[in-house]
Amino acid sequence: MAVQKILVTGCAGFIGFHLSKLLLNDGYEVLGIDNLNNYYHPKLKLARLNQLKPYKNFKFEKIDIADRNSITRSFRSFKPKKVVNLAAQPGVRYSLENPYAYMDANLIGFLNIIELCRHNDIAGFIYASSSSVYGGNTKIPFSVDDRVDKPLAFYGATKRANELIAYVYSHLYGLHTTGLRFFTVYGPWGRPDMAMYIFTRKILAGIPIQVFNHGNMKRDFTFIDDIVEGIVRVADNIAKSNPNWDSTNPEPATSTAPYRLYNIGNNSPVGLIRFIELIEMNLEKKSIKNFLPLQPGDVPETYANVNKLMDDIGYSPSTSIETGIEIFINWYKDYYKV
């Protein structure tokens, strides 16, 4: 049996790195693509890449997915069987100041990738969506059957646009597409702009941390190993049409086309104050807290209903926040020689 080829965009990013490593260890041939931009310091991205380069079944190309000519050449040369699109401009607050970065990566880049999937006999296209599509929804937990037409930031709007574009391609061209709405992913090799990284760095340095909404926030923190296991399971179970789909009572997350949407989260939200306490406990150092109001684009709580993912692919997150934070802090101390 031939080794399966998978293209992973955003391979030097947090999730893309961990996914690529898992696929490589499972024997897949991986082409990793990343533009290594400076949204945060590329040094960490290069360090992740250095972990992947020793694998003989890994190839890396520095490409921006918004560059249609470059990504087309690379795609056609590699001839992947499946594609996981994780390349995107992340961050809710950053999108308030830099909307064009999201237009380029999350819309133009996404279109370039899905068009190539359409024209190159791709068996399955899996892409990153986000819990941000739920916007100001107050019904908890968030379900893929909920309405998602009121995002609170441009980032969430681009992710919802991805889902709609994917549906059109599934409907018109029979492309098997699966969108995964990620919920607050954390773990070793994580992004420096995320709360766990920022809090750890500032607590160690004795710098006050910003605690938004006066600490009255909850997040469905999901450990990276649980996330990438879910992605691989989805890649092994490509989206299928739902023969029972009823247009008079439509399920938003399925269709008569081969289209699926899933939440992928820990299904167990944690309060922000408890989250900080666990970091303090592992660092053996107390934080200095600066309590602030809720920021534009932020939501007070995220909580994933993952029943559909559990039913369809047997996904079940297994890493508690206590275990996950301990693993992250140990990695952080080792990486930064604390």
Q: Is the pLDDT of residue 44 over 50?
A: yes
Residue-wise over 228-239: b if at least 16 C-beta within 10 A, else e?
Answer: bbbbbebbeebb
Q: Is the pLDDT of residue 1 over 50?
A: no
Catalytic residue among 155, 186, 262, 315: 155
Q: Is the pLDDT of residue 289 over 70?
A: yes
Which 3 state secondary structure label does DSSP give 18? helix
The answer to whether position 191 is within a domain reads no
Task: Report residue 295's pLDDT band, with 50, 70 and 90 as the boundaries.
Answer: confident
Q: Which amino acid is at 271?
A: G
The answer to whether position 80 is within a domain reads yes
pLDDT, tens only, 3-41: 699 999 999 999 999 999 999 999 999 999 999 999 989
The answer to whether position 290 is within a domain reads no
User: How many degrees, rounded to 5, is the angle at CA 13 between CA 274 and CA 259?
Assistant: 90
In this structure, what CATH number is given to the domain that contains residue 132?
Answer: 3.40.50.720
The answer to whether position 199 is within a domain reads no
Q: Is the pLDDT of residue 77 over 70?
A: yes
Number of domains in the chain: 1
User: How many degrees, rounded to 5, is the angle at CA 166 between CA 165 and CA 169?
Assistant: 90
The answer to whether position 40 is within a domain reads yes
| Orientation angle between helical segments 14-25 and 42-52, nearest 10 degrees | 0
User: Among this protein's residues, is 335 annotated catalytic?
Assistant: no
Q: Is the pLDDT of residue 2 over 70?
A: no
Instruction: Give CA 308 to chain center in angstroms.
Output: 18
Structural domain span for residue 15: 5-186+222-267+304-318
Q: Is the pLDDT of residue 80 over 60?
A: yes
The answer to whether position 73 is within a domain reads yes
The answer to whether position 173 is within a domain reads yes
Judged by phi (left if over 0) then psi (alpha if -120 to 50, else beta), residue 168 lies in alpha
- Indicate the burial class of 275 (C-beta count within 10 angstroms; 0-12, 13-18, 19 or more): buried
Decide: 191 and 252 in contact? Cβ < 8 Å: no
Of 180, 170, 235, the C-alpha closest to 5 is 235
Q: Which amino acid is at 37?
A: N
pLDDT, tens only, 49-58: 999 999 999 9
Can you read off the two tokens belonging to residue 167?
């549906």
Chain mean pLDDT for the chain: 95
The answer to whether position 297 is within a domain reads no
User: What number is the average pLDDT over the span 319-330?
Assistant: 97
pLDDT, tens only, 212-262: 999 999 999 999 999 999 999 999 999 999 999 998 989 999 999 999 999
Bridge partners for 62 per DSSP: 34
Whole-number Å distance between alpha carbons of 160 and 152: 11
Of 253, 225, 257, the C-alpha closest to 240 is 257
